[in-house]
Amino acid sequence: MTTSHYIAGHWVEGQGSDCISVNDPALGQPFAELMAASVTQVDQAVAAARNALPAWKNTSASERAAFLRGFAEQLGQRREALVTLQMRNNGKPRHEAEIDLDDAIATFGYYAEQAEQLPSKNRTVPLAAPGFTARTRLEPVGVVGLIVPWNFPLVTSAWKLAPALAAGCTVVLKPSEVTPLIEQAYGQIADALGLPAGVLNIVNGKAETGAALSNHNGLDKLSFTGSNSVGSQVMRSASAQCRPVTLELGGKSAIVVFEDCDVDQAVEWIVAGISWNAGQMCSATSRLLVQDGIADTLLPRLQAALANLRVGNPLTEEVDMGPLTSQAQWLKVASYFATAREEGLQCLAGGHALDREGWFVSPTLYTDVPKDSRLWTEEIFGPVLCARRFTTEEQAIAEANDSRFGLVATVCSADLERAERVADALEVGHVWINSVQAVFVETSWGGTKGSGIGRELGPWGLSAYQSVKHVTRCLG
């Protein structure tokens, strides 16, 4: 693939020094290559977005909404190709890839509706002082850089791209170098819809390309989803420009299971929270807190459920869990298996890489994990679950909150009053009660503590790409 960058309405060849290999993780082999964008091409993309901004931000809300609905429709028309690409490049099972696509479609549809409501949000502000009138205007923040991760491509980019376009911003999107292909669909759709040139630009590359974008003085805002280590670099770049950022970073989330919970349902929720996308989720509930009265019943059933998960190549097998998406992630997870052995952790399931081609690991459960273990405190980003027991509700809340992260949590209890009370006490951005991790576009996404800054989805996602202007007039 040579024309892998979409700049100013044209597909262009990469001129950077990096060659990006795109891999099939189930085979551990590359199936495509592309050249990264150069720093000059990043400059060109930002300039194109800047040139397109005046006209785009002055389009009517209904025009922008029509484009967003067009993105949703076009994604649906490309369904099989996009689902297959997710399976091949990410290693996602088919049902996960289909949910990802449906999520992206729903996001564009939702923000089309939000765009249509924008005119009603510009309103007169009542003043206590006589002789003056005031009104508010919600305006696009400007040119935004969007840097998205490899674990949920297409979805994370939709969460950023749709509200940015709805607000009237123009965009430079940088996909992950691990999964650069699927975001090409957005450029193809922009062509098909006749989106004005420069409103959407896509540049692919590795760290050099990401740094060129995050450091660029032509941006008005940057939205980043990824690791805390890179997020801190992005924040330093933003601070040099005094530029707003949205950061969606890591997590080490807890799932709290009380003894009144139905065991079979609890096992279902626990397994989904650690095995979905092979555990490669910032929201993975990788810390299991189980109450004493249910632990001896639940843990053996959980052990069996994890051992019975079908792990394999989603393109050739019926699977519950696919491979890890990259060799680097496979090596990282394997290093935590080694750490667990060094720490002497009790392993009830898994704890090893699978002896087959590709980047597969076993769904893993460690129990009675000390609070100072690296596996209890650090984000692993793989299907590795650590369990501890608790006695009281207060203890469960304290241990769940004892983390430098604060993204999500799950509470499992038949006592709904208690479940709601615990949910309110947890220091996180999103809590599920008696549920798998169902994410709806109308709700917010983001965390507290080290899990990031700002919120995506819902009306909060749109406001992240808007600035507020007040106009005050003297009536005298």
Counting Cβ atoms within 10 Å, is residue 124 exposed (0-12), middle (13-18) or buried (19+)?
exposed
Residue 307, domain CATH: 3.40.309.10
- Among candidates 248, 311, 239, 233, which has minimal Cα distance to 283? 248
Distance CA 474, CA 297 (A): 72
pLDDT confidence of residue 2: 56
Q: Are 262 and 230 contained in the same domain?
A: no
Q: Are 56 and 184 contained in the same domain?
A: yes
pLDDT beyond 80 at 152: yes
Residue 76 lies in a domain: yes
Q: Is 282 a catalytic residue?
A: yes
Q: How many domains does the chain have?
A: 2
Residue 378 lies in a domain: yes
Q: Are 270 and 160 contained in the same domain?
A: no
Q: Are 272 and 208 contained in the same domain?
A: no
Residue 446 lies in a domain: no
Residue 261's identity, in one-letter code, is C
pLDDT confidence of residue 420: 98
Q: Are 390 and 301 contained in the same domain?
A: yes
Q: Are 95 and 205 contained in the same domain?
A: yes
Residue 445 lies in a domain: no
Q: Are 227 and 270 contained in the same domain?
A: no
Integer CA distances (angstroms), 470 to 126, 139, 220, 473, in order: 12, 11, 19, 10
Q: Single out the catalytic residue among 96, 183, 248, 456.
A: 248
Q: Are 44 and 151 contained in the same domain?
A: yes
Q: Are 334 and 456 contained in the same domain?
A: no
Distance CA 161, CA 342 (A): 44
**pLDDT digits 0-9 by tens, 310-343:** 999 999 999 999 999 999 999 999 999 999 999 9
pLDDT beyond 80 at 17: yes
pLDDT confidence of residue 1: 54
Residue 239 lies in a domain: yes
pLDDT confidence of residue 367: 98
Between 125 and 412, the more confident residue is 412
Q: Are 198 and 272 contained in the same domain?
A: no
pLDDT confidence of residue 365: 98
**pLDDT digits 0-9 by tens, 328-386:** 999 999 999 999 999 999 999 999 999 999 999 999 999 999 999 999 999 999 999 99
Residue 118 lies in a domain: yes
**180: domain range?**
5-249+451-474
Q: Single out the catalytic residue among 169, 261, 282, 412.
A: 282
Average the pLDDT over 242-261 and give the result.
97
Average pLDDT, the chain: 96
pLDDT beyond 90 at 110: yes
**pLDDT digits 0-9 by tens, 33-68:** 999 999 999 999 999 999 999 999 999 999 999 999
Average the pLDDT over 248-264 and give the result.
97
Whole-model pTM: value is 0.96
Distance CA 12, CA 51 (A): 18
pLDDT beyond 70 at 12: yes
Q: Are 235 and 358 contained in the same domain?
A: no
Residue 186's pLDDT band (boundaries 50, 70, 90)? very high
pLDDT confidence of residue 476: 79
Average the pLDDT over 249-269 and give the result.
98
pLDDT beyond 90 at 264: yes
Residue 158, domain CATH: 3.40.605.10
Residue 70 lies in a domain: yes
Q: Are 278 and 243 contained in the same domain?
A: no
CA dihedral for 52, 58, 61, 66, sign (positive or negative): negative
Integer CA distances (angstroms), 296 to 255, 290, 301, 368, 375, in order: 17, 10, 9, 12, 22
Residue 270 lies in a domain: yes
pLDDT beyond 90 at 290: yes
Distance CA 108, CA 80 (A): 19
